[in-house]
Amino acid sequence: MAKVLIATLYSPDPVLTAANRLGPDRLILLIDLKPNKEQEKNYKLIQESLGRVVDVKQVKTEVYDIVGVAEKCVEIIDMQPKDDEIYVNITSGRKTKALGLLFASYARCNRVKKIAYNPEEDKNAVVWLPKMSFKLTESQKKVLSVIGEKDYAKSSLTDLTGKIGISRAMLYRNIDELRDMGYISTENGLELTDAGKIARL
């Protein structure tokens, strides 16, 4: 069993503090798709400081695409061996990237042990964020999954009930509930919202 720390990166201080406290075996840092010199310098500093004792890797993501960041972070979490303990730190970097990592933690709350944030005012303090999940039923997950498919636009509600394997009444109920939760929009047909795209991960 290994400890894995997944963290956003801009300033190195929160990452170094979290790594020193946790003692991870693996450190996965989210950096920008096109990192600037400051971010590259800070990644190199962490690599040089911790690289001899910790497996340090970087994963590049968009900065402002929260759904894309969440998808990439879910991939990272899913790639870790099942017995590993996964910790998340969302202190450093852009808020949009931190939110993407946070939402990925919610999508895989059964895999993430703790989510941390270090306030700027007190570098030694740790705020442990609540672990949450999307709490969807199996049929709600299937509805989101099918609506999220590329060829869904050609499907009718009858096709949808067949693909999901539920009654028409149950489908309407799921659609109403998912709309009320903000996961789908019904204004232009059935479409996933960004929240729905993240919830189906």
Single pTM value for the model: 0.90
Confidence (pLDDT) at 83:
96
> Which stretches in the chain have pLDDT values below 70?
150-155
Confidence (pLDDT) at 102:
97
Confidence (pLDDT) at 150:
66
Contact (Cβ atoms closer than 8 angstroms) between residue 76 and residue 68:
no
Confidence (pLDDT) at 136:
93
CA distances from 171 to 97, 107, 144, 198 (A): 34, 23, 11, 20
pLDDT, tens digit, 9 for 90 and up, residues 27-59: 999 999 999 999 999 999 999 999 999 999 999
What domains appear along the chain, each with residue ranges and CATH number?
3-129 (3.40.50.10770), 138-199 (1.10.10.10)
DSSP-assigned letter for residue 190: S
Identify which of 174, 99, 189 has the alpha carbon closest to the alpha carbon of residue 141. 174
